[in-house]
Structure 1
Amino acid sequence: MTTIRPHASTVERVPLRSALHDLPAYKPGKAAPVSGTTQYKLSSNENPYPPLPSVRDVVAEAAAGINLYPDMACTEITEAIAKRWDVPAASVSFGAGSVEVASQIIRAVAGEGDEVIFAWRSFEAYPILTGLAGAKAVHVPLTADERHDLPAMAAAVTERTRLIFVCTPNNPTGTSVTADELHAFMTAVPQDVLVVIDEAYVHFNVDAAAAHGIDFFRTYPNVVVLHTFSKAYGLAGLRIGYAIAPDYISAALRAVAIPFGVSALAQKAALASLDAEDEIEARITSLVTEREKLHAELLSIGWDVCPSEANFVWLRTGEATQELETIFTEAGVIVRAYPGDGIRISVGTPEANRQAVQAAKAAFNRLAAER
């Protein structure tokens, strides 16, 4: 006999975790709509170049084995990264992108009632991942020149603080932290508070005074460094990132990681990318050159644009953000808008960047006409 279940609206619903009630939604960069005109997607900080032929060939060969589980220990790429940075293999751990590794860190270190500090605005996954762990997100405003206010972040530490994220270069503003600033910060932070130096965009950072996470890992016992293959290496679609951390932290990250979370294709592609670093470096140099051109042209229009050390630039547009985003979209340029704050424009091909400049000029003129 068939049992008739009552309609879903008439039964008591399964309760969800309270942490989900106020959780902000992660908003990925918009995709370019399909239309008859050329559209440039500059909303996700992606590398605009296609995969290197050598990397593509390795991925194609590895695809023949996707019926099998990947190496959960990421053995080969772990050894390669350990050699690359001259650190013990036990200090290296992987995840499906550095954001997934950041999630591992939070889940390993922070729980109900604990605090996680980060600058704001910074990477928008930080408050989401913190909330999912049941911890409290502590936002510390950026300075007037869009940089981390490290003294204010140090002053925000309490007995409940477990973790601090320092995103340098910062997403979405592109500003970086200097070595002197970070050393002063580290001396002000208790050693039982973990400091994560998130360097997703470090390959584009050409500031001679910039902090280098690996140096701080070697100097301080409470530092973790995050890197990713998504940006400079152009593997955003394969999702692989890693942490360099004290060995007991790395062991904890592996304990909370999703089993088999890093695909075999991603591992092989990362290895091939490390073998092709000369070609990768040439692409990075090209993108940095384009970034500097884009920055200079925005300044010439009249925009007050802070120097960027990442593969994007930041326009502080405040309450006009959504209105100006529409101007970019209508011009065929898809940008990343942060309502009430600003617009981030990823560095693309020269053609895409030229179109972005034209859209930025129209947006600036709109603002000027409304004032």
Structure 2
Amino acid sequence: MTDAAAAAPVKIRPEIASLPPYKQGKPAGADAFKLSSNENPFPPLPSLIDALQAETTINRYPDATAARLRARIAERYDTTPDGVHIASGSVAIIAQLLLAVAAPGDEVIYAWRSFEAYPGLALVAGAQSVQVPLTADFRHDLPAMAAAITDRTRAIIVCSPNNPTGGVLTRTEVEEFLADVPSDVLVILDEAYAEFVTSSDAVNGRDAGFLAAHPNVIMLRTFSKAYGLAGLRVGYAVGHPRVLDAARSTAIPLSVTAQAESAALASLDAEDELLERVAILVDRRERLVAGVRATGWTVPDTEANFLWLPAGAAALAVAELFADGGIITRPFAGEGVRISVGEEESIDRVIDLAARALPLLNG
């Protein structure tokens, strides 16, 4: 971050001037494991590399609508291409949607702690954040979120599995929540980690009839996590075409490259193979959670590709201990530490470091 004391040469909105830039997960050295960014640790499949190498017309602009990918996803969700929107990551779509529905004085509700980009996206749109604390078991408090709705509420973000704590919401919980949400308030269902969910009763935007029954809900997914395309930045939304038209109106044109679209299509072609990798990561997650719990940590249930250590005031010290031991994590000062599920070789090291870090909670 630049020096806050240095004056900018032009007038900047005060709230933007005080807004810290998005903080990316720390890189790892040669002998360390980077478990700070929830990335897929497996290398790209050969078929994806072939798709990228075949996309050589970088002297031409990409298709601004990503029509091939939209058509493919529309088929999967039994909707029309107008009911699908592609952008450079699902977080870009959240920004577009908030710009479309929120104005100065309006409110955006979301759970907290949740994805760290939400506050900045709401602020950039000019809206006020209404942060509703998580429950004691680190899940969304949907009744409290419903109670927070006012006549100024324009959007509600629901993150399942929740980043960074990992908990999911059930479809019953979400259905009951939506019954309390005015039909003209946008609900963004952020399912960036949905492919890692194994719970049969978890909410799932792909369930038959779910989106059709709730036209004010927009579901978000990404190719960055389970599909391993984080470096290409491509995500999508499914929902009512008129709501997605509003997002398309606020989008920066041509932000999804032809290479990203081709790789996403190749990923869908290779989905069975990629989901085999997801199953491996889920197995690692379960072993990692069990191992860390065995050391004495209270680890909340997680259905994502990461786990949460509720370290409280010791969060930065815990993260430093992990870094010294060759595990790069994502600390949230005063709250906890998120650890991604990574390489097989990292599991025992994470468990060992968790045991060594536990005394810091009492220090």
- Which bracket does the TM-score occupy, shorter chain normalised? over 0.9
Q: Which residue of 1 aligns with 2:50?
A: 57
In structure 1, runs of 5+ residues without a counterpart are 1-10
Check whether the contact 1:24–1:127 (CA below 8 A) recurs between aligned residues. no
Match among 149, 152, 157 for residue 144 of structure 2: 152
Note the C-alpha offset of 1:194: 0.6
Q: Count the aligned residue pairs.
A: 355
Tell me the distance in 1 between the aligned counterparts of 2:295 and 2:93: 40
- The answer to whether structure 1 residue 28 and structure 2 residue 24 are counterparts is yes
Tell me the distance in 1 between the aligned counterparts of 2:20 and 2:111: 16
Check whether the contact 2:315–2:332 (CA below 8 A) recurs between aligned residues. yes
Note the C-alpha offset of 1:245: 1.7
Match among 185, 188, 193 for residue 201 of structure 1: 193
Q: Which residue of 2 aligns with 1:241?
A: 235
- The answer to whether structure 1 residue 127 and structure 2 residue 123 are counterparts is no
- 1:331-359 CA-to-partner distances (Å, cap 9, x unmatched) read 00000000000000000011012211111
Q: Which residue of 1 aligns with 2:254?
A: 260
**Is the alpha carbon distance of 1:361 and 1:74 closer, same or farther for their aligned partners in structure 2, counting shifts above 3 Å?**
same
Q: Which residue of 2 aligns with 1:170?
A: 162
- 1:178-231 CA-to-partner distances (Å, cap 9, x unmatched) read 011001100011001110100000000111110112343121121000000000
Note the C-alpha offset of 1:96: 0.4
- 1:18-75 CA-to-partner distances (Å, cap 9, x unmatched) read 33144243211111135xxx1000000000000011011111111x211111111101
Tell me the distance in 1 between the aligned counterparts of 2:52 and 2:46: 10
Q: Which runs of 4+ in 1 moved over 6 A?
A: none
- The answer to whether structure 1 residue 283 and structure 2 residue 277 are counterparts is yes
In structure 2, runs of 5+ residues without a counterpart are 1-6
For the residue of structure 2 that corresponds to 1:214, the secondary structure is: coil
Tell me the distance in 2 between the aligned counterparts of 1:124 and 1:295: 23
Tell me the distance in 1 between the aligned counterparts of 2:342 and 2:123: 33
* Greater C-alpha Rg: 1
For the residue of structure 2 that corresponds to 1:350, the secondary structure is: coil
Higher mean C-alpha deviation, range 351-360 or range 41-50: 351-360
Match among 89, 92, 98 for residue 106 of structure 1: 98
Q: Which amino acid aligns with 1:342?
A: G
Tell me the distance in 2 between the aligned counterparts of 1:17 and 1:67: 36
**Is the alpha carbon distance of 1:312 and 1:211 closer, same or farther for their aligned partners in structure 2, counting shifts above 3 Å?**
same
For the residue of structure 1 that corresponds to 2:206, the secondary structure is: helix
Alignment of 1:1-371 (within 5 A): 13-34=9-30, 38-62=31-55, 64-215=56-207, 216-367=210-361, 370=363
Check whether the contact 2:314–2:360 (CA below 8 A) recurs between aligned residues. no
Tell me the distance in 2 between the aligned counterparts of 1:312 and 1:165: 20
Check whether the contact 2:317–2:360 (CA below 8 A) recurs between aligned residues. no
Tell me the distance in 2 between the aligned counterparts of 1:84 and 1:353: 35
For the residue of structure 1 that corresponds to 2:254, the secondary structure is: coil
CA RMSD of superposed structures (Å): 1.3
Check whether the contact 2:311–2:361 (CA below 8 A) recurs between aligned residues. no
Tell me the distance in 2 between the aligned counterparts of 1:280 and 1:236: 14
Tell me the distance in 2 between the aligned counterparts of 1:137 and 1:172: 18
Check whether the contact 1:146–1:175 (CA below 8 A) recurs between aligned residues. yes
Check whether the contact 1:19–1:134 (CA below 8 A) recurs between aligned residues. no
